[in-house]
Structure 1
Amino acid sequence: MDEDPKRMEEGLNSALNGDGNKDDLKKRATIKTSNGGSIFEHDKDTMAKPVAEGESVQQIAEQEQPPVKQKTKRVATLDAFRGLTIVLMILVDDAGEAYPRIDHSPWNGCTLADFVMPFFLFIVGVAIALALKRISKIKHSVKKIILRTLKLLFWGIILQGGYSHAPDDLEYGVNMKFIRWCGILQRIALVYCVVALIETFTTKLRPTTLASGHLSIFAAYKWQWFGGFVAFLIYMITTFSLYVPDWSFVDHFNGDEPKRYTVICGMRGHLGPACNAVGHVDRQVWGVNHLYSQPVWRRLKACTFSSPGSGPFRDDAPSWCLAPFEPEGLLSSISAILSGTIGIHYGHVLIHFKGHSERLKQWVSMGFVLLIIAIILHFTDALPINKQLYSFSYVCFTAGAAGIVFSGFYILIDVWGLRTPFLFLEWIGMNAMLVFVMAAEGIFAAFVNGWYYEDPRSSLVHWIKKHVFVNVWHSERVGTILYVIFAEITFWSVVAGVLHKLGIYWKL
């Protein structure tokens, strides 16, 4: 196991040739790090300095020698943190129905499931800082960023736009009248694109060394924080100043015949489910038929007696309980840029501070400050923690938690050297896109379900869940959680480990 305290830097210092002169031809290195399956690659190269008068033939020959390709090391803590996020997603998606307390909060509040999206965006930020710390050609980097953004958008629409009905419905295809344009990968694409472009275009403004003082890292990357502040202003001003009129929708999914409902609003600054600016923007931009048709607010007490679980609607449930709502919408995704901005700050700390203690002081202190801000805003009812609206308090709370967890992983893996217990998370993190698609989105389970005997419910997946887990424990809840842990998380850990040994990765 590599216990070098600088293992995580992945070639932060430029490679120099034999005499160590910083003006000599620098060696070419490639940095690869994963972002939810997206692999960021960057070539560090510079132009060779012209031969100076009086240089010896030997010196010229040494400069003209082909560069030696250095094998870079992956960021183990980042891989483990990414793997943890994928594991959390599988757990809450597939066991959330049996354990509603870990599923998404119906509105205000924060559950285990509500940490998944901001953890992903935090990872995006850290990975961008590492991948783009050296940029040779801005145009080339911009092209790669745009291409990667388009790939994420494409896969997001395929997986969550309605085309895929995995894992239970053995059909595919989407009615374009109801296609969902937003989703998890689409939000990651937007945040990645904005944060990476800011990082790219400010490359010439980056300092090589930091000034003294605890806040010098913030001043050094003021343009990144300025971008986050602009996103914050856009979100806050729109949320509290945009007028939300009455709106209507047609319920196509509950009942035999479609039925139109009208929601009475006519207000500004409302943070409840029915009349908030986040939903209004999405209805105007995408259209009400293109939003998520099963929002989590259906589990509110106002909508069902089964709250916080799913259940039949109350007879006196307000009409908006039946309405669609986009949890990964446009305005809330603008707010989510802040999560990526905070993540890239943690990456900058990793680059500039060499010692464990200096890094941890920066990371932990910021994490606790963010948590305190969020708790104050939430419990004073100034800005409740709300994942569906992606409120500022939610950004602070989840980013603070991400920073604390990331710091904890860093202590365990890099400071104490306890890497082996977290190898399964590293393996998943290195093939995050594969596990996300096959496990979290249920594509592999859908493939297995496609081979059944007489009835679609008589497939291998259903048989294992019923006979190996549920019937053995005589409990649907216990059987479900054990199935998720062993038949999904453990299974894909082994698969990811085998693929890692074979050097096979799904890269975007």
Structure 2
Amino acid sequence: MTTKINPTQALPIKAQQSQRLLSLDALRGFDMFWIIGGEHIIHALAELTGWPVMNWLSVQMHHTVWNGCTFYDMIFPLFLFISGVSMPFSFGRKFTEFGVGYGFQLPAAVKKQLYKTMIRRTLILIFLGLVVNGLFKFNGYENTRFASVLGRIGLAWFFAGLIYLNFDLRKQMIWFCFILIGYWLAMIFVPVPGFGAGNLTMEGSLESYIDRLFLPGRLHSKVHDPEGILSTIPAIATGLLGIFTGTFIKDQRFSPLRSVYFLLLLSLGLILLGLLLDLSFPINKRLWSSSFVLFVGGYSIAFFALFYLIIDVLGFQTWTFPFVLIGTNSILIYLAVEGVVNFGYTANFIFGGLINLSSGPFSDLLRAVSLMAVELAFLYLLYKNKIFLRI
């Protein structure tokens, strides 16, 4: 039975200062849902029904080739944004313990302890990213891809955390602006040998050139890597945007409903600002352009505001359980579906007979749904036994 919370009641929201936001776990699970098989369900439904809305959704489940943005392009930055939102709640316990308002006010010994934890988490994520890329296939140094999604999450989260722990909110915002403007100016005005300045193609961009010069091993696209060195810098701004959002919610300067209104207005402003900047620095996930940070950041805030409103403020929580299963073990399920566990074999073993009785698009839909069912069953067993991969 769904429990409803009166949005005018302050106690449940105040309790969130020391508790985990359910909306964060649910949003993280919603985000990861599409990676672990949700996209295949949409593709199969589009093929089966032929409905225009399903065809549109199917298109949204693909990355853009270069400039532009689809829903699927938002999944990675949304995950990084969520990591930023959680930081004021996780680190904030230390602030409360020592009665300080900002990280730079913490005792040196405490900050040193936090740095060690952050470095450990970052190194583990970089290593796991290498594992996903096939580190133990031993295909040779030159065939190993060192850049990775998990590596970027670790690095961007780490440097955003350093800014959070060493500067007040005003200076954090200055860092945010400095990163986006600095990256924009560098990409537009720094010349690349053979291409000149301001070339934003895959081959001629400054980001790609730096990858070819300094990124070891194999690049994702031969001349370019979407998780490369230079484009990791604006990803820090994505993490900072999450930190600003988490700080705003945690500080509770306004009522929960008013906070949601402010977040939705901010999201609209960032989307419009991203579209404006798109005129000179195109929205581009592979370059993680400054316009991309603003545009997707606006949508990320909107997603969080809606999940926060529905789940934590209004109290409609029962429907979130499948997403919570995914969100509380997001890194583990990501590693699993990237090759550590063959869920497809298990799904075919259990549901293969039913799938074979059907044909065409309906068979594809059953296959996609059965795969998701097996993954959720796996996550449910972990959840019931309180087994979580904490990094």
TM-score by length of 1: 0.65
Q: Which runs of 5+ in 2 are unaligned?
A: 45-57, 99-109
Letter in 1 for 2:245: Y
Deviation of 1:442 (Å): 3.0
Deviation of 1:10 (Å): 5.4
Q: Which runs of 5+ in 1 are unaligned?
A: 13-71, 165-171, 206-220, 246-264, 296-322, 450-458
Partner of 1:282: 211
Aligned partners of 1:8 and 1:74 also within 8 Å: no
> Deviation digits for residues 45-79 of structure 1, max 9, x if unmatched?
xxxxxxxxxxxxxxxxxxxxxxxxxxx53210000
Superposition pairs for residues 340-489 of structure 1, below 5 Å?
A: 340-353=239-252, 355-378=255-278, 381-439=279-337, 441-445=338-342, 468-469=354-355, 472-475=358-361, 479-484=363-368, 486-489=369-372
* Shift in alpha-carbon separation, 1:504–1:356, aligned structure 2, 3 A: same
Letter in 1 for 2:205: N
Q: 2:20 aligns with which of 70, 74, 82?
A: 74
What is the aligned length? 358
CA–CA distance in structure 2, aligned partners of residues 333 and 496 of structure 1: 31
The alignment partner of 1:505 has SS state of: coil
* Shift in alpha-carbon separation, 1:469–1:392, aligned structure 2, 3 A: farther
Partner of 2:135: 163
Deviation of 1:152 (Å): 1.0
CA–CA distance in structure 2, aligned partners of residues 417 and 226 of structure 1: 36
Aligned partners of 2:310 and 2:316 also within 8 Å: yes
Q: 2:34 aligns with which of 88, 94, 102?
A: 88
Deviation of 1:106 (Å): 0.5
- Comparing both structures, which one devotes a greater share of its residues to strand? 1
Letter in 1 for 2:208: G
Partner of 2:219: 291
Partner of 2:375: 492
Letter in 2 for 1:336: A
CA RMSD of aligned residues (A): 2.6
* 1:328 and 2:227 correspond: yes
Letter in 2 for 1:242: V
The alignment partner of 2:384 has SS state of: helix
- Comparing both structures, which one devotes a greater share of its residues to helix? 2
Aligned partners of 2:20 and 2:89 also within 8 Å: no
Aligned partners of 1:10 and 1:75 also within 8 Å: no
* 1:243 and 2:208 correspond: no
TM-score by length of 2: 0.83
* Shift in alpha-carbon separation, 1:163–1:414, aligned structure 2, 3 A: same
Aligned partners of 2:60 and 2:72 also within 8 Å: no
CA–CA distance in structure 2, aligned partners of residues 388 and 471 of structure 1: 42
Letter in 2 for 1:82: R
* 1:116 and 2:78 correspond: no
Instruction: Calculate percent identity across the aligned residue pairs.
Output: 26
Deviation of 1:433 (Å): 1.5
Aligned partners of 1:107 and 1:388 also within 8 Å: yes
* 1:190 and 2:89 correspond: no
CA–CA distance in structure 2, aligned partners of residues 101 and 134 of structure 1: 39
The alignment partner of 1:393 has SS state of: helix
Superposition pairs for residues 302-341 of structure 1, below 5 Å?
A: 323-341=222-240
Deviation of 1:429 (Å): 0.7
* Shift in alpha-carbon separation, 1:201–1:376, aligned structure 2, 3 A: closer
